[in-house]
Amino acid sequence: MQLTDLTMLELAAKLAERAVSSEEATRACLERIRQVDPQVRAFLRVDEEGALAAARASDARRKAGSPASALDGVPLGLKDIFLTEGVETTAGSRILEGFVPPFDATVVRLLKNAGLPLVGKLNMDEFAMGSSNESSAYFPTHNPWDLSRTPGGSSGGSSAAVAAREVFGALGTDTGGSIRQPAAFTNTVGLKPTYGRVSRFGVIAYASSLDQPGPMTRTVGDAAALLQLIARHDPQDATSAAVEAQDYSADLEAGVRGLKLGVPREYFTEGMDPEVEVSIRETLREYERLGATLVDVSLPHTKYALATYYLIASSEASSNLARYDGIRYGLRAKDARGLKELYAQTREKGFGPEVKRRIMLGTYALSAGYYDAYYLRAQKVRTLIREDFTKAFQQVDAVLSPTSPVPAFKLGEKLDDPLSMYLMDVFTLPCNLAGLPGLAVPCGFTKAGLPVGLQILGRPFDEARLLRIARALEREHDFFLRPAPLQG
């Protein structure tokens, strides 16, 4: 077994025993990146000097018997949407090319304080707008399970880096499924916490009422341990919830006996890949064998979620991205004659087609004469979607569903059909509209060897229960740690 094959918790145990050093683990990640990232293309930039310096500092703390946290010394990767002091941060966009933040995002600061070396910045769909990583302004990332396929998006770089053993874990963000869908495509674990559970301060905004950072790991235990470090109330984030974090690892082994798990009939629709449905149905039966009770539930407004999401998210994106104008930071168009031309040329050159599409949609929805017909109506439907979940959770402890209607699709397959691409998020985005926690966990493979992911949704701030439910499945299977073939 290679050092990079260890889970975060396994490495942490070896670091505590001083059987291996953080510098060794970090160098192993850097070597692995050199070996496989030319194929996977998960990283936009690697901070070798900063990661090794943090690793040496961690080793010194371990030697002195004063580790900063249980995960002190475990190397991690970051989606390029988190501000990192002194390290270029672009959100996958040309308009932020060359931008070096003067401070760290709150979650980055928490990870540094906990002693985790941060190896580098991971590729993503531009401003987190996409479901395949193909809208990155730099290059697409490839799925380690089949290099001809997408790793999902927008956190595809994060999921691919974890699946390819380039880092032990990573952080992503989830606006409409951008942690969970990539996790399902790459046989990894992706946790989208309750809205407000993890600080958004220093996270480049796409849709402020939907965005939420979260962990992407190889195992459920690793996700619990990483969430423990970043689930903090942050007074710098006005939407941060003043809710005490649970001990997310305490009940991991409690199993599912006695739990009621809801199965929403609206999530098993026409167009779902038959092999995905077979894997999900088999997993549901397995939960029954493990002692859970399956309950049929209805989420009747699910059919409106896609339109609701894209109206709200695009409207918020239109507002958030207005700040990129060539004046304050980032790209500035050359040879512009006058302020209006400077704005237009900067945004034309700096934004890619998907970002422009969503800005135009959002600006239209917010314009005079259309605000009530589109944006306001979408917010009312959002309330109905949230109420659907509230009613369901009066009957059940969690809701189980597919994460994606299909396994990872070919790169380029959906680029010319935006609506088809948007439909990839049909099962994940209601969770964001309702502000709920959601977890994607491996549950099998297709005949072609492509991963399938189960989605587990829960009540607000009930992440510990979701992790417990996922761990019950993980104990029964070895496919959680099966290495990706890096072929295709």
Q: How far is residue 306 from each of residues 255, 309, 403, 468, measured CA to CA in Å?
A: 33, 5, 15, 29
Active site residue 66: no
d(CA 316, CA 314): 5
Which residues share a beta bridge with 118? 76
Residue 371 CA to residue 461 CA, distance in Å, equals 32
State the pairing for strand pair 170-173/76-79: parallel
Question: Annotated catalytic residue: which of 154, 314, 315, 404?
Answer: 154
Phi/psi at 213 (nearest 5 deg)?
-75, 155
Options 79, 121, 192, 414, the catalytic residue:
79
Catalytic residue among 21, 22, 93, 178: 178
Round to whole Å and give the CA distance between 25 and 14. 10
Cβ-proximal residues to 221 (8 Å cutoff; 6+ apart), any chain: 7, 9, 249, 252, 471
Residue burial 254-282, b: 16+ Cβ < 10 Å; e: rest: ebbeebebbbbebbeeeebbebbeebbee
Structure tokens at 223: 């996700």
3-class SS at 90?
A: coil
Q: Please work out, in degrees rounded to the nearest 5, the angle formed at the alpha carbon of residue 196 by the alpha carbons of 90 and 457.
A: 100
Assigned token pair, 183: 């996790």
> Does 154 participate in catalysis according to the annotation?
yes
Q: How crowded is residue 61: how many other Cβ atoms within 10 Å of its Cβ?
A: 16
Of 26, 158, 138, 150, which is closest to residue 79 (Cα–Cα)? 158
- The phi, psi pair for 149, rounded to 5°, reads -115, 165
Q: Kindly list the catalytic residues.
A: 79, 154, 178
